[in-house]
Amino acid sequence: MRLTVGGARFFSSTRAAAGKAGCNTVAPVHHTVKIDKNRLSPRFPGLQHSKLDIRHPGYKPTSTYQDRVAEYYSNSVQSDLLLINAQHGESRQPGYKRREWDGSSPFHLNRSLRKPKGSDAETPDIKPHSAANVPKIEAIHINCYVEQAKDNVNHAISALVQLQQITGVKPKPIYSKTNVLHWRVRAGYQMGASVVLKGRPMHQFIATLTEVVFPRIRMFKGVSNKSGDTLGDIQFGLRPDDVKFFPEIEQNQDNWSKTYGFHVNVVTSAQTDAEARTLLSAYGIPFYGSEKGVKPENVEY
Amino acid sequence: MLTFPIKSQIATLSRAVNGSTNTKYLISSLPLQFARGKRTKRTVTVSAGTQRIITQLSVISARKKVPRVLKLSNEDLIRHDTVQRAWTLFQREKRQQQDEQLSKQYDSIINALEDLKAVAPELYAVANKKEKGKRFPLEARIPVDYPPNKIWYYDVAKDESK
Amino acid sequence: MATVAESTSSVSAKSADKTWAKPSNLENEPRAFKAPSKYRSSLLNGVSKEGPPSLSSKKFKLRYNSPSGLQDAFDVSYAYLRDKSQELYNKIESSNENKTQLEIEAQINNPEVRFNFAYNDKLENDPQYIDYEQPVYRELLKQDWESKDQMLLMQRLEQLHAIPDTLPTFEPKVPVSLKFLNHTTVNRWIEPGTVLSSNVTAYPPSIKIQELEQVDTKTQLYTVLIVNPDVADIANNTYKTQISWGLSNVKLEYNDNFITPRRLLEDDGSINELIDYLPPVPEKNLPTQRFVVWVFRQPAPINVKLTERDFNIREFVKVNSLNAVGAHMWRSTWDLNVSKVRELYGLPKGTVFHKVRGEKRMK
């Protein structure tokens, strides 16, 4: 006689005699109620409140000051951008997609799809412009890779503190991923810091950058018109000397004998780089050089 | 910090307590520093650079980030919650109004272009041309509470010497 | 920047006249929409020099400091929310659509309502402070229940396999709470899934069923079934389901919904006891038995009586087209009190099984 069949329970066999493995199995869920174990645990009573509740340890008063950058965007930039981008009779432009094989060989049957034509990776469709998809700055990623940190990890720590000073947001350390022999870098070294800015800290950073830092950089031309990842994100870099112009560093020069340059990636919801550049120019970020697809006589500076 | 001679004196002191030498002399001559938990090893002196790193590490430590939770009375908790709810509701309404305004603007842009297409196709072609490389003027500024008296120097002349 | 202050500048919310919005045709405002007079002033007009009345110790009262600026922000917020609420009441008067939802929205931001709900007993509610006749309090209870107790119940039902062993699945809509009133030492609400002594469960439980949705309390009937899916069925070498207790045609009020033994005794015969209570009397060395309490909304009165304990709950539910809305469960295992409970109910002596059953013994 078999002791167990599927999930049926037999009176004549206890678990021990049935020789069942004492391992955990995840039973199927029969209901639609999502269970948040944090709420059920008695360990941290503060976590049982919502994050908007002042009793939650993670409660953060955010709207403590006027956000003039956000207001500038919603009061004047947004409607202008809508007008600039609006087009009559637009249709959805499909992006690069992976292609089917033509079926000339029987081996095509289970082969993964062909690469897109003209690109290594798929790109998203470009949707018609509307009031719902006016470009806006979504986040700013700052990445600070310090080459000297391979010899002395103190540089990576200083870079992290520097980013925290400038942005007011806690950065994450970054680590080298692989061994690169001729750079003398090995996997796992702490090599710098990175931070993602959103909301108010992001607006604060943009304002400081365009009003305090950029005007004081010597021979500053602007951000290159060639910068961009084709998906509406614009990148530029700041040199160690430029970083000294951030007021948080400048006011405390004794402690910042050495500063570290970093890369800035401005993530926008624009669908193309050209639209992203138009958006960034509204914040006072100048651009230089020739832009792809724009005739020189049409360039406005 | 215990230097060698003091160490030997303490050894003598313990012997003295046991009664082998002259107790009186030793106790009066020695500053007694035999406190429990007193650091006996040489304190580590660090270089200025290392000290800076130690300070920096303490700046980014998690302990410094979490402020203590405010203890409010029941009434004040409800009052705080009311303020929070009013603010959220107000923000939501503001956002809805802006979205509505924006979609109205979009509709009227499209309507105007449609009319133009019917009336003057050549003008429509010009008006509906995609504007690539469009820039906001560099004079555009994020408004501030206290703007300067002269906002922009329009008469700035290019330095001919360069 | 448009601020809350600007948008409500037309309405002055000075400390003196803080009354929440109400419909124009309302004669008597429900008592539960006002905070107790002891707290009302400090809630609406700020904590006075004597300190907040909610603190009991005089020392802490004197030492307490309200956050600065909270009063101004509160005044503006109160006026803003009250205006929104008045708009909703005007909307209710102009059209009859979605009335309950609008009534909830009109009161849910009222600080007095929220104060009453937050600092009074939600389960054994005093209708003076928490009145479940008012949809806003039912909504607040629903939010509170969903934030913890509902998840706990579903976790226990799932982990202990009450679903699908008794019913295939379940969408909880009604909080059910359980208490064994007769037993003095365990006079507390039972957490779902607790293992209870057979002494505690010797007499039927008292069940509180709090309806949350808008129903006609005069006509809506409920069925309560307590089933035990762990009864040994030796003849078929398996386990079977027995019914421990069953009630049907139970009427519930929003505020008076605790089914106690006394209420059943005093009942005028409207409640139908499907079968009388059989207390848990587990046999020795058999696995822990589960007792699952199911609460159903019933579409029509059920007046049958059950004669047999063996029970097919799925068929019963299907035949009577019952709608499962609430559940609860506890567990029982053999203990020294079982023989006393057996004596009390005149049941035969229990069997002692071998610890390890099956062909192969454990080595």
Q: What is the ipTM of this complex?
A: 0.86
* C145-159, C182-196, C229-243: range with lowest mean pLDDT: C182-196
As a whole number of Å, the end-to-end CA separation of chain B is: 66
Task: Name all chains with 3 or more CB-CB pairs below 8 Å to chain B.
Answer: A, C
Residue A23 placed within a domain: no
pLDDT score at B20: 41
Is pLDDT of A146 > 60? yes
Residue A273 placed within a domain: yes
pLDDT score at C66: 92
Is pLDDT of B14 > 50? no
- Shortest CB distance from B82 goes to which of C54, C67, C78? C78
Inform me whether the C-beta atom of residue C169 falls under 8 Å from chain A C-beta atoms: yes
pLDDT score at B68: 78
Joined together, the tokens standing for residue A142 give 């700052």
Joined together, the tokens standing for residue B8 give 């030997």
Residue range C129-145, pLDDT digits in tens: 999 999 999 999 999 99
Domains and CATH numbers, chain C: 31-147 (1.20.58.1180), 149-345 (3.90.280.10)
Residue A202 placed within a domain: yes
Contact C362 A66 (CB under 8 A): no
pLDDT score at C96: 81
Residue position matching structure tokens 């300067």: B148
pLDDT score at B36: 67
Domain membership of residue A255 as a residue range: 137-288
Joined together, the tokens standing for residue C344 give 């009390």
Residue from B132, B146, B153, B156 to probe the interface with A (highest A Cβ count within 10 Å): B132
Cα(C43)–Cα(C36) distance, integer angstroms: 10
Give per-residue burial for A45-65: e unless 16+ CB within 10 Å, then b.
Answer: eeebbeeeebbbeebeeeeee
Q: How many domains does chain A have?
A: 1
Task: Name all chains with 3 or more CB-CB pairs below 8 Å to chain A.
Answer: B, C
Is pLDDT of C73 > 60? yes
Q: Which residues, other chains included, contact C268 with Cβ-Cβ below 8 Å and sequence gap of 6+? A: none
Q: Report DSSP letters for A136-156, one per residue.
A: -EEEEEEEEE-GGGGT-THHH
pLDDT score at C120: 95
Q: Is the peptide bond before C164 cis (omega within 30 degrees of 0)?
A: yes
Phi, psi of B6 (to 5 degrees): -65, -40
Closest approach of B100 to chain C, Cα-based (Å): 17
Cα(C161)–Cα(C167) distance, integer angstroms: 10
90-109 of B, contacting A, C-beta below 8 A:
98-99, 101-103, 105-106, 109
- Percentage of chain C modeled with pLDDT above 70: 93
Query: What residues does C223 pair with on adjacent strands?
Result: C296
Cα(C47)–Cα(C38) distance, integer angstroms: 12
Closest approach of B60 to chain A, Cα-based (Å): 7
Residue range B116-154, pLDDT digits in tens: 999 999 999 999 988 888 999 988 889 988 888 887 777
pLDDT score at C59: 93
Residue A109 placed within a domain: no
- Shortest CB distance from C70 goes to which of B79, B86, B89? B79
Amino acid at C169: T
pLDDT score at A244: 96
Query: What residues does B129 pair with on adjacent strands?
Result: none
The 3-class secondary structure across chain A, one letter per residue, is CCCCCCCCCCCCCCCCCCCCCCCCCCCCCCCCCCCCHHHHCCCCHHHHCCCCCCCCCCCCCCCCCCCHHHHHHHHHHHHHHHHHHCCCCCCCECCCCCECCCCCCHHHCCCCCECCCCCCCCCCCECCCCHHHCCCEEEEEEEEECHHHHCCCHHHHHHHHHHHHHHCCCCEEEECCCCEHHHCECCCCEEEEEEEECHHHHHHHHHHHHHHHHHHCCCCCCEECCCCCCCCEEEEEECHHHHCCCHHHHCCHHHCCCCCCEEEEEEECCCCHHHHHHHHHCCCCCEECCCCCCCHHHCCC
Residue position matching structure tokens 């979609």: B103
Q: Residues B129, B133, B138, B139: what is their CA dihedral angle, to the nearest 10 degrees?
A: 0
Average pLDDT score, chain C: 90
Is pLDDT of B63 > 90? no
CATH code for the domain in which residue A186 is found: 3.30.1440.10
Residue A262 placed within a domain: yes
Residue A274 placed within a domain: yes
